Amino acid sequence: MGSSLKGRVGVLGGTFDPPHNAHLAVARTAMRQFELSQVVFVPNGIPPQKSVSDGVTSEDRYQMARLATAGRRPLSVSRIEIDRDGPSYTIDTIRAMKEDCPEGVCFILGADQMSEIETWREPQALLDSVPFVVAPRAGISLSFLARPPFDVASIHVLDMGEVDLSSTAVRDRVARGESIEAWVPRSVARYIEERGLYRVGVAARSHGTGGQDR
């Protein structure tokens, strides 16, 4: 399982299209279980491997993540990817954040994204660069963690129930005119309503805990 994560900064990347209560539950569980110093939400700028919803800007997703974490210290949000030119790659973000965080970092993601990490940019370098904290996902067996290249990485599985909430489901409820206040922080629901997000042409694309891209 690797060394202790105590005091490290947890990096939770994703499209956050929109952020929802499962993102917060994963962040809080990671902090408590591994004694992290903080968890930073990192909204993707231009995700190379997935699209985001029509009519929803990077700034919208940043603002929703900011609202979701407001008053929930030590959770915070970084603009590192949405302010970066070109596609957002996790390996670049991790390298930058390691330089900025002498206490060390770890990367938090869902089991579904972890299982696809070999399709990301420089996957072996990424697996070698930091410890990973993996949230169980409904329908995803963790048996893949026992095979290469995962078997030699530092991987820590969260002790929590399988996450079965997705941004896709939230967007679909909005499109159907149904309430999402049980699924997202009230401030996020208000932001979506006030700006009319996800009401037309909702694309069911982001289906992960963190909606990882790369």
Instruction: CATH number of the domain at 191, please.
Output: 3.40.50.620
150 lies in a domain? yes
Q: Identify which of 211, 161, 188 has the alpha carbon closest to the alpha carbon of residue 65.
A: 188
Question: Does residue 207 lie within any of the structural domains?
Answer: no
In 78-130 the beta strands, taken as DSSP E runs, fall at: 105-110
Torsion sign (Cα): 165, 170, 176, 182: positive
Confidence of residue 100 (pLDDT cuts 50, 70, 90): very high
Structural domain range at position 75:
9-195
Taking the alpha carbons of 98, 101, 106, 109 in that order, is the dihedral positive or negative? negative
Q: Per residue in 55-99, pLDDT tens?
A: 899 999 999 999 999 999 899 999 999 999 888 899 999 999 999
pTM: 0.90
